[in-house]
Structure 1
């Protein structure tokens, strides 16, 4: 893994979004678990995909736990930004954990369900929370990073105490292995007490925001907190380009 030196004696793991790494002094501290709190439509999923692609470029293995989207959809969406990871998948550098198929295939029409493999049928009796914990605690060789997409599904389906326990496991394993992990969450979907609880549990919190200004939509990032650093005191505007998320070089209060 390549680390950047932040000038204070600490090291940072690059996120894969160069302009964000500049704001973070080179990246985030090893072993950091980040809550990615995003408004619908803010394209936080692009950031998550850019994050795992950045890990592969940084010679890390990656895992992506998906309870919200089919795996093939994620792979195809990444190709739209030039992030073709099929070779890395074949090489075992990418570990996709498909919790989406397991939870929806029992409600699919018969003509769709009949195309599922025997392995997919076995997943019908797999508890998604156990899948998440197994993904977090799986022994991985070398440096790696991970994404949980998303914790909102678990908050809709499980008791808060169970979700907090899972995040604490993810965070603890990350600290032991120096893995940087993103836990995605939909902003505005949950009770403020729930949101604040998760903000408190995670090492870092990055919020993706949107608002309308006239006929335009403005998107911005707020780094609410990050372990080991003083976060910027301004929101940072960003654009979605054919290369992914790009932050504006000049920050401004929105």
Structure 2
């Protein structure tokens, strides 16, 4: 069962107690808390010796690295591969299946080529996954999720896919939630001039869903639980 302690691990200590070889969906209704969450996960995964692929559909490689360095010093940078300005869901699967070659122009170099092989990673973050499928039908989306699940099991990779709620049609969002192994949602509530933030985990492989959302705060150090909120 997911308890408050496990939630604190998820947000404060990265992937230590998150199941391996799973596909998790991280959703947010507004803002970029999921970006803070991902950078913390990346830092903690690197410290524990895990190899991380961080793929972004909206930021360049240099911008991502600058953000990561401002957030926290990263241990073992040789274990981190960052790919920015990514826009091709077919190339994503090609990299998973060891077929795709991304040329060094994506990395600001003039010659040579770099072969990116996601199957070599322990953790693969795709931010934002939903943006890759704005113009695709639900069949393409479901086939991609099926492929990622298969790869995660075979190669023992934890995939974290982010999505801004409302970017995809409601049916497509429901299909993704139903197929992935776990769903983590960052929700924001505006009430009487205050901003209240909550984490909801409606689904996690091998766990009973929580019956109450957990309040959290965003600080310069990342995400911290509001200890006044208890699991009902």
Tell me which interval the TM-score lies in, with the shorter structure as reference length: 0.7 to 0.9
Aligned to 2:39: 49
Q: After TM superposition, give the deviation of residue 158 of structure 1 in Å.
A: 2.2
TM-score norm. by structure 1 comes to 0.73
1:28 aligns with 2:18: yes
1:201 aligns to 2:196 (yes or no) = no
Residue-by-residue CA offset, 1:154-206 (whole Å, 9 max, x unaligned): 22132221122122211211112222111111112222211110001100001
- How far off is 1:137 after superposition? 3.1
Counterpart of 2:91 in structure 1 is 131
Distance 1:182 1:140, change over 3 A: closer
Match of 1:157, SS?
coil
Q: Report the Cα offset of residue 140 of structure 1.
A: 5.9
Deviations 1:81-100 (A, max 9, x none): 22346x61xx2x11222344
Question: How far apart are the structure 1 equivalents of 2:158 and 2:211?
Answer: 23
**1:108 is matched with which residue?**
none
Q: CA deviation at 1:135?
A: 3.1
Query: Higher mean Cα deviation, 68-77 or 199-208?
Result: 68-77
Aligned to 1:191: 169
For the structure 1 residues 142 and 157, does the alpha-carbon distance in structure 2 shift closer, same or farther, using more than 3 Å as the test?
closer
Alignment match, 2:105? none
Q: How many residues align?
A: 206
Q: Which has the larger radius of gyration?
A: 1
Cα distance in structure 1, aligned partners of 2:228 and 2:45? 26
TM-score normalised to structure 2 length: 0.79
Structure-2 change in CA distance of 1:194 and 1:142 (3 Å): closer
Q: RMSD over aligned Cα, in angstroms?
A: 2.4
Structure 1 runs not aligned, ≥5 long: 1-5, 7-13, 104-127
User: 3-state SS of the aligned residue for 1:197?
Assistant: helix
User: Are the counterparts in 1 of residues 217 and 225 from structure 2 also a CA contact under 8 Å?
Assistant: yes
Is 2:171 the counterpart of 1:211? no
Alpha carbons 1:146, 1:179 under 8 Å: kept: yes
